[in-house]
Structure 1
Amino acid sequence: MRRTAEFDAFGPWIDEVHTTAELPRLYRDAGIDPAASRLVLKVPRAIERRDANPDMHLYDFLIAVGTSQLTVLRRRDDWYERARLPFAQITAIEDSVSLLDGRLTVHTADGAATLISYNALDPAPITMLTRLLRKLYLPWRAGIPAPPVASPPPDLGGGDMGLVTAYRQVLATEPGMRLISAARRAAVGRGNRVSRLLRPVTLHASILLADDREIQLLHRRDRLVQGRDKPHSIARTVVPRAGIAGFRVRPHDTHPQVDIVTICSADAALDFPTHAGAETDALLALLSTA
């Protein structure tokens, strides 16, 4: 088998690109200049190395953070599609991990949602990317930052310690974030007792945080689920408060214990299922001050 530098370097990890020579072959005519970019990442295909060969295009995404926009190139067989996302148009960022299945979704004011799938074996490059985007889409306010507010970790019960750990990690890096509310998982299904036992419907736990710039929700990738599968995912959705144009709430079509809170930003709408009552009230109160 012939050898190439791209094939020799291929693995499950996301690599930072510093020079044009490090660009994957598929994307070299795209006009991406790593030297003129704040950050360039190449995201490999979700295949085992033993199934790869030097003649394949080995990277599913090339991500470039420029001076005014995020550019995402996504492989489509032997070609690619391009998404241009101006920083000022970003309305939400959701990063979720379920075992090794990582998904970063960037929502924009036109209603589009750009999905980047990645191997969560090494999430550090995606964490670096999201931190950079959050600095660029909403510049930090001048002046003295508000002091952190000490609060005990939320009590979600033994089955959701992963969310509590995620909460602690957020406060460790962003001590200005404050806890707004926390809701435990709850059964919300309708029907007779037998159907509820065999196919229960669960609204999973969540933690709501905020500072004067952003609202953050820590949750499961799928909040409203049917069945008894144990959740493994951890998701974090960040919404810049300055981009919120309005909100609305409606009861869920089939589960009266659940509300759907919709955050509106220009032509974008982001739905959050919430526990009717305290969780809904806390989110609405927060949105009313955005």
Structure 2
Amino acid sequence: MYDLKKEYDQFGPWLVEIRSEQDIPPQFSEQQHFFDDAVYSFKIPVHQERRNMKPGMLLYPEVVIIQNDFILHLKIDGERIQAEKMWYTDVLFLTHGGDLLDNYIGLQSIQGEMVIKYNLVSQDVASHVIKLLREMVSPRKHYPVSNELNDHSLLDKVTYSFYCGTEKPIDPLHILAYQSELSLTERKRSSLMDLYHNFVQYKLLRSMIMTDGVDLIIANQGKHIIDIKDANYKFGHTFIRLGLIESIALEPHPNFPELNVLIIKVALCEFTLAVDKHFSIDKVLQLLHNIHHVEEMV
């Protein structure tokens, strides 16, 4: 029997792992069979202060179930339950990011994106979930990475240390490229409305490209370009299967002549990153070339 008082006593802004049948919110009792063979599952609390809630009220309107072949996100929508299901074979890339307390886990496929929102206090649970998903998304094929591609001089960068402090490691990392923060002095003007930008100065934020031999990992600050007067507390980590990358290229930035746009094509989706004109993708291209060579030999 579900213990409503225990549920209330445990309630807070954090994610709660579902360890047994007694942890499943009663609103999802008819979906219990999905929990039986789950690799991992957890419930997401309602965005309310504890003092406004009472035992028996809807405290957990969402649950996430990680199965061996798919992930299921169930959400209460009025009197019905909305279900999002994504097979791991359909996942093109994973994202993990946030802004102060409001963080998220994202899975992107050709059909769309599944977004799971959570509070920063549950960073440890979210990092565990990201690690699980990275291990389960298919195909997980490990490619050899030459030590010559790893830039050890970048190990002391804040972007790298933040990534290592947030994500749980699976395989050793190799740093392929790094973009430092850069003040921007130019912006293309297209109309009188753009006169406003004469009084605004922008800066390019830090980013780093890494690999563990399975994923191409892009770590950045959640945004690419911001007004220098704006505070930014965002972070963004993107994991793209190396074997799914179709192409990678640099193109001129549409608004800032000092910059390029890095475009990574994965199926019908594109991942973009703003970088300066001196940013080199030679090591990334060499890695992809080596991967294609390995594939041809198989």
TM-score by length of 2: 0.80
Cα distance in 2, alignment partners of residues 191 and 265 from structure 1: 29
SS in 2 for 1:231: coil
CA contact (8 A) 2:258 2:277 kept: yes
Point out the more displaced range, 67-76 or 260-269. 260-269
Moved more, 232-241 or 260-269: 260-269
Greater helix percent: which structure? 2
SS of aligned partner of 1:173? coil
* 8 Å Cα contact 1:183/1:279 also seen in 2: no
Deviation at 1:63, TM superposition (A): 0.9
In structure 2, the residue matched to 1:274 is: 275
Residue deviations 1:218-258, cap 9 Å, x none? 10111222341232222211111122233454322211223
Pair 1:184 & 2:180 matched: yes
Match of 1:26 in 2: 27
Using the TM superposition, name which of 68-77 and 39-48 deviates more.
Answer: 68-77
Partner of 1:278, secondary structure, is: coil
- Asked if the contact 1:274/1:280 (under 8 Å) is kept, the reply is no
Residue 114 of structure 1 corresponds to: 114
Bigger CA drift: 81-90 or 146-155? 146-155
1:23 is displaced (CA, Å) by 1.3
Letter in 1 for 2:179: A
CA contact (8 A) 2:131 2:167 kept: no
Contact kept? 1:20, 1:33, Cα under 8 Å? no
Q: What are the superposed Cα offsets for residues 97-152 of structure 1, whole Å, 9 maximum, x if unpaired?
A: 322221111112x1512111101113111111111111111465589998896813
Matched length: 282
Pairs within 5 Å for 1:36-55: 36-55=37-56
* SS of residue in 1 equivalent to 2:152: coil
| Cα distance between partner residues in 1 of 2:196 and 2:290 | 41
Q: Which runs of 5+ in 2 are unaligned?
A: 190-194, 292-298
* Alpha-carbon distance between aligned partners in 2 of 1:279 and 1:142, rounded to the nearest angstrom: 24
Q: CA, structure 1 residues 282+12, in 2 after alignment: closer, same or farther (shift >3 Å)?
A: same
Q: How much has 1:191 moved relative to structure 2?
A: 6.8
Q: What do residues 16-52 of structure 1 show as CA deviations (whole Å, max 9, x unaligned)?
A: 1122331123322235532311011111122211122
After TM superposition, list the pairs within 5 Å mapping 1:1-290 onto structure 2: 4-108=5-109, 110-138=110-138, 141=141, 151-154=152-155, 161=158, 163-169=159-165, 173-174=169-170, 176-188=172-184, 189-190=186-187, 198-279=199-280, 283=284, 286-287=287-288, 289=290
Moved more, 98-107 or 240-249: 240-249
| Rounded Cα–Cα distance in structure 1 between residues aligned with 2:97 and 2:116 | 11
Pick closer, same or farther for the CA change 1:77–1:6 going to 2, 3 Å. farther
* Amino acid paired to 1:212: G
2:74 alignment partner AA? L
Answer yes or no: is the 8 Å Cα contact 1:221–1:234 preserved in 2.
Answer: yes
Pair 1:53–1:146, CA change in 2 (3 A): farther
Relative distance call for 1:279 and 1:117 in structure 2 (3 A) is farther
* Amino acid of the structure 1 residue aligned with 2:187: R
**Equivalent pair of 1:187/1:203 in contact (CA under 8 Å):** yes
Q: In the alignment, is the contact (CA less than 8 A) between 2:73 and 2:84 conserved in 1?
A: yes
Distance in structure 2 (CA, Å) of the matches to 1:203 and 1:43: 34
- What SS does the corresponding residue of 2:93 show, helix, strand or coil? strand
Q: 1:94 to 1:140 in 2, by over 3 A?
A: closer
Q: Letter of the aligned partner of 1:261 in structure 2?
A: L
- Superposition deviation, residue 60 in structure 1: 4.2
Deviates further, 209-218 or 194-203: 194-203
State the percentage of identical aligned residues: 16
Gaps of 5+ in 1: none
Q: 1 CA distance for matches of 2:273 and 2:33?
A: 36
Contact 2:174-2:212 at 8 Å conserved across structures: yes
- C-alpha change, 1:107 and 1:281, in structure 2 (3 Å) is same
Tell me the amino acid that sits aligned with residue 69 of structure 2: S
User: In structure 1, the residue corresponding to 2:121 is in which secondary structure?
Assistant: coil
